[in-house]
Amino acid sequence: NAGVTQTPKFRILKIGQSMTLQCTQDMNHNYMYWYRQDPGMGLKLIYYSVGAGITDKGEVPNGYNVSRSTTEDFPLRLELAAPSQTSVYFCASTDGSGRGETQYFGPGTRLLVL
């Protein structure tokens, strides 16, 4: 049981390049989330999904896209990378029980846009 896995661990992008951050969970969780964490800040929600085929915007969705074709995978797409997207990205999942549910976090992807 690997929990939530993310790839890559670290990436450097040039301005205008695109990339996909991968996230997979093996806990059969319906709810999945993407957060970004800027230095010295808390986590900001980018997008989330309540199940396969259903996604919705979070607090800071601009410049990102997501898809959820399966329960396990929730990739995050950056189409035109900008320096403001330099951050650490965390994927999380939960069973959605709503009773003090635990959000399980991946180890993060550190992205540097130059």
Give which of 3, 14, 36, 15 is closest to 104, Cα–Cα: 3
Options 13, 21, 23, 43; binder of other proteins; rule CB under 8 A: 43
Neighbouring CB atoms inside 10 A of 90's CB total 22
Options 13, 23, 33, 36; binder of other proteins; rule CB under 8 A: 33
Neighbouring CB atoms inside 10 A of 9's CB total 9
Q: Which residues partner with 5 through β-bridges?
A: 24
Options 24, 106, 111, 113; binder of other proteins; rule CB under 8 A: 106
The answer to whether residue 2 forms part of the interface with other proteins (CB under 8 A) is no
The answer to whether residue 41 forms part of the interface with other proteins (CB under 8 A) is yes
Options 24, 74, 108, 113; binder of other proteins; rule CB under 8 A: 108
